[in-house]
Structure 1
Amino acid sequence: MTTPGAAPRSYPISIKGVVVRDGLVLLLKNEREEWELPGGRIEIGETPEECVAREITEETSWPVTTGPVLNSWMYHIHAVDKHVFIVTYGCYPDTDAEPVLSHEHKEVGLFPESAIADLNMPEGYKRSISAWFARLRAAESELVG
């Protein structure tokens, strides 16, 4: 709630993608030693879907097709006392190549769903990863059943 006459607070927006290939989710390690989803800030004139696809390609060299919105939340980065509004999308990989680490991160990794709970990662990302794995399983069972 904003106090009358006070300027509203604003926050940066970060669009992130959950990319699963062969049962493994693509993650990047940041300078705070946290694992995070690839993605970044939306640019003027860009849709969120275009943003997440561009950012994933820039950060990992993986082209993707953007799927549905998975989650959104306000994330407080304690190390820098900053709030960021996060939106996550499920994304489909359009490559069989290995991910390539960009200069923006310290490490790139592919992890099974079972490893996510123990990673140093914001809970919101963990929820988004879980939601995308669940949707992928549901879609797979529809195709089989």
Structure 2
Amino acid sequence: MTNDAEADFRQTGWPGLRARLFHLYFVLRRPMTLGVRGLIHDAASNSIFLIRHTYVPGWQLPGGGVEVGETMADALARELVEECNIALTGLPVLTSMHFNRRSSRRDHVGFYVIEHFSQTAPKQPDHEIAEAGFFPLDGLPEGTTPATLRRIAEVFRSEPASPYW
């Protein structure tokens, strides 16, 4: 085995080209979208961070799409900065994966729980986020989305994780 253990399993030549062509075929034939959402929990106040977008109704967990060449964790970190002014100070925990059939027939969402973070400043409204902030678990805002309520129940009431977002 070489020093680069991955290199020993990398396909080259015709087998490598064939594998890349098959991958391209599947991307074109069966494209899938991937997103991330994070439940940011402030244990000291027993509150969670929710956002309300300018373009869809309801209060929901922050997150967004995973870009080409981006890991799910990188996408989550980017979205938290953009939507919440929140930086991760520890590793988020990937809790579950969900099929988001309301979005499309090919959309999946990775759901993370975040307990180690810092907020650089309160999130001010902008073109994407109408409102954002921490809410106590026993005082969630009216209009909290059903998917958000399901994720909260799965985390805090140990309800079984739904396969659907």
Residue in 2 aligned with 1:90? 113
Of residues 84, 93, 109, the one that matches 2:133 is: 109
Amino acid at match of 1:74: F
Please say if 1:62 is aligned against 2:77. no
Residue in 2 aligned with 1:75? 100
Q: Higher strand proportion, which one?
A: 1
Question: CA RMSD for the aligned pairs?
Answer: 2.7
Q: Would you say the 8 A contact 1:53–1:66 is kept in 2?
A: no
Cα pair distance change 1:117/1:108, threshold 3 Å: closer
Task: Figure out how many residues of one structure are paired with residues of the other and give that number.
Answer: 125
**Separation in 2 of the partners of 1:122 and 1:40?**
17
Amino acid at match of 2:50: L
**Separation in 2 of the partners of 1:98 and 1:118?**
21
The TM-score, its normalising length taken from structure 2, stands at 0.62
Structure 2 gap segments, 5+ residues each: 1-27, 159-165
SS in 2 for 1:130: helix
**Deviation at 1:126?**
2.3
Q: Would you say the 8 A contact 1:67–1:89 is kept in 2?
A: yes
Residue in 1 aligned with 2:19? none
**Separation in 2 of the partners of 1:117 and 1:98?**
18
Residue in 2 aligned with 1:141? none
**Deviation at 1:110?**
1.8
CA-to-aligned-CA distance 1:52-77 (integer Å, 9 cap, x gap): 01111111111123421122211233
Please say if 1:14 is aligned against 2:35. yes
Q: Relative contact order (C-alpha < 8 Å, sep 6+): which is higher?
A: 1
Residue in 1 aligned with 2:77? 53
SS in 2 for 1:94: strand
Residue in 2 aligned with 1:3? none
Amino acid at match of 2:95: L
Q: Would you say the 8 A contact 2:35–2:72 is kept in 1?
A: no
Runs of 4+ in 1 over 6 A off after TM superposition: none
Query: What fraction of aligned residue pairs are identical, expressed as a percent?
Result: 23
Please say if 1:99 is aligned against 2:123. yes
Q: Highest CA radius of gyration, 1 or 2?
A: 2
Residue in 2 aligned with 1:23? 46
Cα pair distance change 1:51/1:66, threshold 3 Å: farther
